[in-house]
């Protein structure tokens, strides 16, 4: 299906917001966006309207259009939903994962290790993290559930990217937890795998004080 111009503009702006290329609280200009993306005002306005409805952009009268700051309550709610779903997902996936699947999962982990050792690119690491978790949904035959979650994960994903940018928090701990999850799944130890994935996803709450300290201006009061 060919996407509309509005969808292309929306996806471009959304990606910049999630990746923190547009920082929380940053002012953006419809005119500048139109010139940069070489599109008319209508798709820009339609995309910005959708992002406003999703809580990622704020319009301030007599001031301008701004990237919304990270809403921690929305991030926490998304984490709660994802943890509730993903513990069931891994329970279903364990019964279906093959030796080939475990090979793919370990390859993703190896790419994450390489990222730590080389360029330390936060968005590549984030995308590899997404691939890792997404793989369990595909293995469980719950692809649509993953797509639904992406619609509510936006503030959580910005939080996760910000976590990768923090100098105070290590990426290696995330990799180690991924390895433990795969080991438990390969051993068909469902109870352990569920406990591990729950703890892994609960990091968002545990690490909140550090991120609020390091990036106080990026969060809503």
pLDDT tens-place values along the chain, 221 residues long: 346 888 999 999 999 999 999 999 999 999 999 999 999 889 999 999 999 999 999 999 989 999 999 999 999 999 999 999 999 999 999 999 999 999 999 999 999 999 999 999 999 999 999 999 999 999 999 999 999 999 899 999 999 999 999 999 999 999 999 999 999 999 999 999 999 999 999 887 789 999 999 999 999 97
Q: pLDDT by residue (tens digit) across 126-157?
A: 999 999 999 999 999 999 999 999 989 999 99
Residues 6+ apart with CB under 8 A from 154: 14, 17, 18, 54, 55, 56, 74, 78
Q: pLDDT by residue (tens digit) across 154-183?
A: 999 999 999 999 999 999 999 999 999 999
Global pTM? 0.92
- Asked whether 121 and 112 are in contact (CB, 8 A), the reply is no
Domains of the chain listed by start with CATH number: 5-67 (1.10.10.10), 72-218 (1.20.120.530)
Phi, psi dihedrals of residue 57, rounded to the nearest 5°: -135, 140
Side-chain half-sphere exposure of 144, counting CA atoms within 13 A: 0
DSSP assignment of 27-49, as one string?
EE-HHHHHHHHT--HHHHHHHHH
């Amino acid at each position: 299906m060919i996407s509309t111009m509005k969808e292309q503009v929306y996806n471009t702006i959304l990606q910049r917001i999630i990746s923190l290329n547009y920082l929380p609280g940053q002012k953006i200009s419809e005119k500048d966006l139109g010139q940069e993306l070489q599109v008319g005002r209508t798709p820009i306005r339609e995309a910005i309207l959708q992002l406003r409805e999703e809580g990622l952009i704020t319009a301030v009268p007599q001031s301008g259009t701004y990237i919304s700051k990270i809403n921690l309550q929305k991030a926490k709610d998304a984490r709660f939903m994802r943890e509730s779903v993903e513990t069931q997902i891994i329970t279903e996936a364990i019964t279906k994962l093959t030796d080939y699947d475990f090979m793919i999962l370990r390859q993703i982990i190896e790419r994450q290790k390489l990222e730590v050792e080389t360029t330390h690119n936060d968005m590549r690491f984030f995308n590899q993290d997404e691939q890792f978790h997404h793989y369990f949904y595909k293995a469980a035959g719950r692809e649509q559930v993953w797509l639904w979650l992406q619609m509510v994960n936006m503030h959580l994903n910005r939080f996760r990217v910000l976590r990768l940018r923090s100098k105070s928090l290590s990426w290696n701990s995330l990799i180690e937890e991924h390895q433990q999850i795969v080991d438990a799944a390969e051993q068909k130890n469902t109870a352990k795998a569920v406990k591990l994935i729950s703890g892994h996803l609960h990091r968002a709450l545990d690490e909140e004080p550090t991120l609020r300290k390091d990036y106080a201006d990026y969060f809503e009061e």
